[in-house]
Amino acid sequence: MKSTFRCSSNIALVKYWGKKTEGIQLPANPSISFTLKDLYTETTVSVLGSNTTGHPEFEFLFEGLPKPSFIPKLTDFFSRIFHDYSILKAFRLQINTSNNFPHGTGIASSASGFGALACCLAELEEMHTGKPVSVEQISKTARLGSGSACRSMYEAPAIWGSHPLVQGSSDEFAIPFQGNIHAAFANMMDAVLIVDAGEKSVSSTVGHGLLKGNPYAPARYGEATLHLAELCTSLETGNMTDFIRIVEQEALQLHAMMMLSNPYFILMRPATLSVIEAVWAFRKERDVPVMFTLDAGANVHLLFPEAHYQQVKNFIDDRLLSFCQNKQYFCSAIGSAPIRIQ
C-alpha cells in the first residue's frame, strides 16, 4: 500500500502569529492565505510492515536520503495523530519527500510538507478502513504538524481560525473562501525574492510563543480579525487599494510584533527594506498594482495580477535582482488544491 500527493505551499495575506495553546496549533487570530501553485512538496508514504510496538513507527527520507533533523517534529506530529489513524497503529511507514524549490532558499516547506503528508495518510486510512476522510479532517491533521499547513488544502483562498463573520470558520481546520472573487483578483501571481537564503535566527514556533503575555498581542489579534473581514470584502468588490493596504499592513504588523517581543528580534534584512521602498516607488511611478508581503523571514513576496506579469518581471530584473541572494527569485501562480499522483 502506498500513496503519493503533491501539495503546494501558501502565503498568508492576514497572518497567523500567536497560538491559543502551545503545541497543538490553535491560532490566536484568524488568517487567510493564497496557495502557491508552483512551489510544492511531493510525498509518498508506503507501508513497510506491521507495527507491533503500540506507538508510531516511521522512516523518513528527504530526496531519498535520511534527514535526522526532521525526526523530532515528525515524532511530535505522529504522537498527536496516533489515535485518529488506524494505519499508524497497524503499520510501520516510510515517508519519502521532496520539494520542487531548492532547499536553503528560506522558502518554508513545513506547510507544503505537512499538507502532502496529511493527504497521503488520509488516502492510506481510506484504503485500510474503507471509510472516507473529509478535507476538514485532512486540514486538521496538517495543522497538527504545522499550523499554516492546514491552509494548503484549497484552490480558493483558505481561511483558518474562527471569525464571527465567516460562516463555518474554525480554529481546528481551514475552509475555502466562500464568496465570489472579483475579476481583479482572479489570476494573481507571487514572485518570491530570495533576500536571505540562510537559516532563520528565530523559528516561527518560537516566535508564536513570544506573544504569550506580550502586552501588544491583544491589539494585534483585534487588528487581524478586522483585517480578515476587510480583506474578504475587497476580494469580492475588487477594491485593489484596500487589498494592498491590508496586505502590506499585515506584513509590517507581523514584523513589528517580532520587534515588540521579549526577547526582541528582527528577521528583516537591510535588503528587505530596500525592496519594500522600491515597490512603493514603482507603484507610485507606474500605477501597477504590485504589493509586498513577508512571512517569518527576510524574503519578500510580491503579489500582482498576472496581467502585469511582464511589467513586474522587468521591474524585478532591472531594480530588485541586486537585493536577491545569487539573483534568485521564484514565480508562482496562485491556486491549486493538493493533487493525487498515480
Bridge partner list, 153: none
Q: 284: how many CB neighbours lie within 10 A of its CB?
A: 9
Which position's Cβ is nearest ligand DP6? 147
Contact residue for ligand DP6 among 153, 175, 296, 298 (CB under 6 A): 296
Minimum Å distance from CB 16 to ligand DP6?
3
**x-or-dash pattern for ligand DP6, window 174-213, by CB under 6 A?**
------------------------------xx--x-----
Contact residue for ligand DP6 among 6, 15, 227, 301 (CB under 6 A): 15
Q: Of 37 and 128, which has the nearer Cβ to ligand DP6?
A: 37
295 binds ligand DP6 (CB under 6 A): yes
Q: Of 106 and 315, which has the nearer Cβ to ligand DP6?
A: 106
Backbone dihedral angles phi then psi of residue 70, each to the nearest 5 degrees:
-90, -10
Rounded CA Rg of the chain: 20
75 binds ligand DP6 (CB under 6 A): no
227 binds ligand DP6 (CB under 6 A): no
H helix runs in 163-269, sequence order:
204-209, 217-237, 240-259
12 binds ligand DP6 (CB under 6 A): yes
Q: How far is CA 185 from CA 32, 39, 59, 216, in A?
A: 14, 20, 42, 32
303 binds ligand DP6 (CB under 6 A): no
Span interacting with ligand DP6, options 9-17, 74-82, 88-96, 277-285, rule CB under 6 A? 9-17
User: Which residues have CB under 8 Å from 260's CB, separation 6+?
Assistant: 214, 216
148 binds ligand DP6 (CB under 6 A): yes
Q: Which helix (H) or strand (E) holds 79?
A: helix 71-81
Asked if residues 168 and 175 have their Cβ atoms less than 8 Å apart, the reply is: yes
Q: Please name the amino acid found at residue 264.
A: Y
